[in-house]
Amino acid sequence: MKTQNILIVGVGGQGVVLASNLLAEAALSAGYDVKKTDTLGMAQRGGSVVSHLRFGEQVASPLIAAGEADLLIAFEKLEAIRWGHFLKTDGAAVVNDLAMPPLSVTLGSDVYPCDAEIVTALKRFTPEVHLVPGTATASRLGNAKMVNTVLLGYASNFLPIGAERLASTLEAGLPPKLRQPNLVAFETGRSMYLK
C-alpha cells in the first residue's frame, strides 16, 4: 500500500489531537508503520491546531509536504482553506460546516467567506470537497464535543482501514461512559457519506 498522508486541522479545544491519536492507533493495529506530529499554536486561545499523520509499509518522516495530503479533515472552515494547499489533486477534503470567526472578522476588518467561496477555494486543489454538518450532528446526538467522532466516521469512507477496526480503536481509547455515544456518533458520521 502506498503511504497515506492525513492532515487534521482545527482550533484549540475541538479534539483534533484526540482524533489524530485514535486514527494513528487504528493504523498501528492494522499493522502499518505510523508517524505523527502535532503543532499547537496558541491552542488554548483558539489558535490553529494541526496534526500530520502518515502511515504505510514504511514511513520515514511524520511531516506531509504541500500537495501530498490524501485526506484533509478540517474541524473549521477557515482552517480548511488555510491548509487546503496540502491536498493532492486527487485527495479529499472533509470539512466541518462550522465558522469560528477570527478576531479580525469580529472587529469588522475582514469578512468571513460564505460556504460557496470556501468550497471554490478548496476546489482549486481537489474536486473532492465535502462540507459536513459535523457540529450540528454531534449536538443533535447530545454532545457537540463528539464532532471529532462524527468527522472521523465520515472520513472513514476515504481510509484504507476498516470501519470495524476504527470503531474498536475508538471504543478502546475512550473512557467507558463516552464509548457508546461516540460509537453512535462514528456510525452516524459514516452513514452521512452514503446519503
**Which residues, in sequence order, are bridge partners of residue 150?**
none
C-alpha cell at 39: 503543532
Q: Determine the Cα–Cα distance for residues 142 and 88; give it in Å rounded to an integer.
A: 35
* Predicted TM-score (pTM) of this structure: 0.94
CA angle (145 as vertex; 140, 151 as ends), nearest 5: 80
Alpha helices in the chain (DSSP H): 16-29, 77-83, 103-106, 115-122, 134-140, 147-155, 163-173, 176-194
Q: What is the mean pLDDT of each run of 10 residues along the chain (195 residues)?
A: 94 86 95 92 72 96 97 97 97 97 90 96 97 97 94 96 94 92 97 83
The pLDDT of residue 28 is 96
C-alpha cell at 105: 472578522
